[in-house]
Amino acid sequence: MLPDCPELAAFARGELDAASFPHREHVRMAFEMLRRHDFVTTAQRYSQALRVMSSRAGRPQAFNQTLTIAFLSLIAERLEGAAGCADFAAFLAAQPQLLDKGALLRWYSPERLASDPARRTFLLPEPAR
């Protein structure tokens, strides 16, 4: 049984302040949610929470579906191989690259990630060149 995480409950309801929600907290909430739910459920709930949070902040255009799903996928993949990580601190120590906001640039160009279609729907990574 996982311990309660009040921040996760507040995040899921879209109640956290976007101004005080840095990238590290995005990763932590994804970690906590993925430990409690399967990927599809997490993708839906996590996306909805970010949409609500960005709307409450008056910046609905800040939500990006491609960034959200791609980062969730990366975190989920790393979590699969991190069975010995009992908590977020241990997970992060084993996966420090997840704190790099530019981690997805290995698969996506900045222009593709910033595009309107990327904000609306999930875009697959670009083909290797």
Q: What is the DSSP letter of 105?
A: G
Rg (CA), the chain: 14
Task: Tell me the pLDDT tens digit for each residue of 76-119.
Answer: 999 988 776 789 999 999 999 999 999 999 999 999 999 999 99
- Ordered by start, the domain boundaries in the chain are 6-120
DSSP 19: G
Question: Quick one: pLDDT at residue 23?
Answer: 94
pTM beyond 0.85, yes or no = yes
Q: With left for phi above 0 and alpha for psi between -120 and 50, is residue 128 left, alpha or beta?
A: beta
